[in-house]
Amino acid sequence: MNGFASFVRKETLHIFRDPRTMLIALLMPVVQILLFGFALSTEVNNVDVAVVAPHRSETVRQAVERMAANPNFTFTGYIPSGEIDRMLRSGRADAVAVFADDFDRRMTDLAAGRPGAGTALQLVMDASNTNTAQAGAAYRAGGVAGQCG
Protein backbone atom coordinates (compact mmCIF):
# COMPACT_ATOMS: atom_id res chain seq x y z
CA MET A 1 0.00 0.00 0.00
CA ASN A 2 2.89 2.32 0.77
CA GLY A 3 4.26 1.87 -2.76
CA PHE A 4 0.91 2.82 -4.29
CA ALA A 5 0.66 5.96 -2.13
CA SER A 6 4.12 7.08 -3.21
CA PHE A 7 3.21 6.41 -6.86
CA VAL A 8 0.07 8.57 -6.55
CA ARG A 9 2.07 11.33 -4.83
CA LYS A 10 4.73 11.27 -7.58
CA GLU A 11 2.14 11.44 -10.41
CA THR A 12 0.24 14.23 -8.66
CA LEU A 13 3.43 16.28 -8.42
CA HIS A 14 4.09 15.72 -12.15
CA ILE A 15 0.58 16.88 -13.04
CA PHE A 16 0.87 20.06 -10.98
CA ARG A 17 4.37 20.77 -12.30
CA ASP A 18 3.42 20.71 -16.01
CA PRO A 19 0.91 23.44 -17.04
CA ARG A 20 -0.22 21.56 -20.17
CA THR A 21 -0.99 18.41 -18.19
CA MET A 22 -2.80 20.51 -15.59
CA LEU A 23 -4.87 22.13 -18.34
CA ILE A 24 -5.84 18.74 -19.77
CA ALA A 25 -6.62 17.28 -16.35
CA LEU A 26 -8.88 20.16 -15.32
CA LEU A 27 -10.28 21.53 -18.57
CA MET A 28 -11.08 18.34 -20.49
CA PRO A 29 -13.82 17.11 -18.12
CA VAL A 30 -15.50 20.53 -18.27
CA VAL A 31 -15.38 20.55 -22.08
CA GLN A 32 -16.77 17.01 -22.23
CA ILE A 33 -19.64 17.84 -19.88
CA LEU A 34 -20.55 20.89 -21.96
CA LEU A 35 -20.33 19.05 -25.28
CA PHE A 36 -22.26 15.99 -24.15
CA GLY A 37 -24.81 18.15 -22.38
CA PHE A 38 -25.75 19.78 -25.68
CA ALA A 39 -25.17 16.82 -27.99
CA LEU A 40 -27.00 14.12 -26.05
CA SER A 41 -30.72 14.34 -25.58
CA THR A 42 -33.03 11.77 -24.05
CA GLU A 43 -36.07 13.58 -25.42
CA VAL A 44 -38.03 11.29 -27.70
CA ASN A 45 -39.43 12.86 -30.86
CA ASN A 46 -41.07 11.52 -34.00
CA VAL A 47 -42.28 8.15 -32.73
CA ASP A 48 -43.97 6.66 -35.80
CA VAL A 49 -47.32 5.24 -34.69
CA ALA A 50 -49.71 3.12 -36.74
CA VAL A 51 -53.26 2.44 -35.56
CA VAL A 52 -55.39 -0.70 -35.59
CA ALA A 53 -59.02 0.29 -35.08
CA PRO A 54 -61.61 -2.34 -36.02
CA HIS A 55 -64.45 0.12 -35.37
CA ARG A 56 -63.49 3.70 -36.17
CA SER A 57 -65.98 5.43 -33.92
CA GLU A 58 -65.96 9.14 -33.13
CA THR A 59 -64.14 8.47 -29.85
CA VAL A 60 -61.42 6.48 -31.63
CA ARG A 61 -61.08 9.18 -34.27
CA GLN A 62 -60.70 11.87 -31.58
CA ALA A 63 -58.09 9.80 -29.73
CA VAL A 64 -56.11 9.32 -32.95
CA GLU A 65 -56.37 13.04 -33.77
CA ARG A 66 -55.10 13.92 -30.28
CA MET A 67 -52.23 11.48 -30.71
CA ALA A 68 -51.38 12.89 -34.15
CA ALA A 69 -51.43 16.43 -32.71
CA ASN A 70 -48.79 15.46 -30.15
CA PRO A 71 -45.38 16.62 -31.44
CA ASN A 72 -43.79 13.42 -30.11
CA PHE A 73 -45.83 11.18 -32.42
CA THR A 74 -46.07 10.88 -36.18
CA PHE A 75 -49.27 9.17 -37.29
CA THR A 76 -48.46 6.73 -40.10
CA GLY A 77 -52.00 5.55 -40.79
CA TYR A 78 -54.52 2.82 -40.11
CA ILE A 79 -53.43 -0.77 -40.66
CA PRO A 80 -55.15 -4.17 -40.37
CA SER A 81 -54.29 -6.21 -37.27
CA GLY A 82 -52.34 -8.74 -39.35
CA GLU A 83 -49.81 -6.06 -40.35
CA ILE A 84 -48.58 -5.20 -36.84
CA ASP A 85 -45.53 -7.46 -36.86
CA ARG A 86 -44.52 -6.50 -40.38
CA MET A 87 -44.80 -2.75 -39.63
CA LEU A 88 -42.61 -3.06 -36.53
CA ARG A 89 -40.02 -5.36 -38.11
CA SER A 90 -39.68 -3.22 -41.24
CA GLY A 91 -39.19 -0.05 -39.20
CA ARG A 92 -42.16 1.73 -40.78
CA ALA A 93 -43.63 2.11 -37.28
CA ASP A 94 -42.08 2.37 -33.83
CA ALA A 95 -45.40 1.63 -32.17
CA VAL A 96 -48.86 0.36 -33.03
CA ALA A 97 -51.90 1.50 -31.05
CA VAL A 98 -54.52 -1.26 -31.06
CA PHE A 99 -57.98 -0.02 -30.10
CA ALA A 100 -60.44 -2.55 -28.67
CA ASP A 101 -63.58 -3.43 -30.64
CA ASP A 102 -65.68 -1.87 -27.88
CA PHE A 103 -63.34 1.03 -27.11
CA ASP A 104 -66.21 3.47 -26.48
CA ARG A 105 -67.88 1.25 -23.87
CA ARG A 106 -64.61 0.47 -22.11
CA MET A 107 -63.63 4.13 -21.93
CA THR A 108 -67.07 4.98 -20.54
CA ASP A 109 -66.70 2.21 -17.93
CA LEU A 110 -63.21 3.42 -17.00
CA ALA A 111 -64.40 7.02 -16.68
CA ALA A 112 -67.31 5.88 -14.48
CA GLY A 113 -64.97 3.79 -12.33
CA ARG A 114 -66.72 0.51 -13.04
CA PRO A 115 -64.62 -2.55 -12.25
CA GLY A 116 -63.70 -5.00 -14.97
CA ALA A 117 -63.65 -2.48 -17.80
CA GLY A 118 -60.68 -4.26 -19.35
CA THR A 119 -58.03 -2.86 -21.61
CA ALA A 120 -59.31 -0.22 -24.01
CA LEU A 121 -56.02 0.38 -25.82
CA GLN A 122 -53.03 -1.86 -26.38
CA LEU A 123 -49.74 -0.25 -27.33
CA VAL A 124 -47.36 -2.58 -29.17
CA MET A 125 -43.86 -1.08 -29.18
CA ASP A 126 -40.68 -1.88 -31.08
CA ALA A 127 -38.38 -2.29 -28.10
CA SER A 128 -35.15 -2.42 -30.10
CA ASN A 129 -34.67 1.16 -28.86
CA THR A 130 -35.71 0.89 -25.22
CA ASN A 131 -35.56 4.63 -24.60
CA THR A 132 -38.07 5.29 -27.39
CA ALA A 133 -40.27 2.42 -26.25
CA GLN A 134 -40.43 3.54 -22.63
CA ALA A 135 -40.97 7.21 -23.41
CA GLY A 136 -43.54 6.46 -26.11
CA ALA A 137 -45.48 4.20 -23.76
CA ALA A 138 -45.40 6.84 -21.02
CA TYR A 139 -46.61 9.60 -23.37
CA ARG A 140 -49.40 7.39 -24.69
CA ALA A 141 -50.45 6.23 -21.20
CA GLY A 142 -50.71 9.87 -20.17
CA GLY A 143 -52.83 10.61 -23.22
CA VAL A 144 -55.28 7.80 -22.46
CA ALA A 145 -55.44 8.75 -18.80
CA GLY A 146 -56.20 12.33 -19.80
CA GLN A 147 -58.96 11.10 -22.06
CA CYS A 148 -60.57 9.05 -19.27
CA GLY A 149 -60.55 11.76 -16.66
pLDDT tens figures, 122-138: 888 887 877 777 777 77
Q: What is the pLDDT of residue 85?
A: 92
Do 70 and 115 lie in one domain? The reply is: yes
51 and 35 assigned to the same domain? no
pLDDT value, residue 6: 93
Q: What is the pLDDT of residue 144?
A: 53
Indicate if 74 and 24 belong to the same structural domain. Answer: no
Of 55, 56, 135, 142, the closest CA to residue 95 belongs to 135
Q: Pick the more confident residue, 82 or 119.
A: 82
What is the span of the domain harbouring residue 8?
2-39
Give me the number of domains the chain comprises: 2
- Asked if 24 and 76 sit in the same domain, the reply is no
Q: How far is CA 44 from CA 51, 64, 130, 135, 145, in A?
A: 19, 19, 11, 7, 20
25 and 70 fall within a common domain: no
Let me know whether 21 and 58 are in one domain.
no
pLDDT of residue 19: 86
Q: Are residues 135 and 112 in the same domain?
A: yes
Q: Do 78 and 143 sit in the same domain of this protein?
A: yes
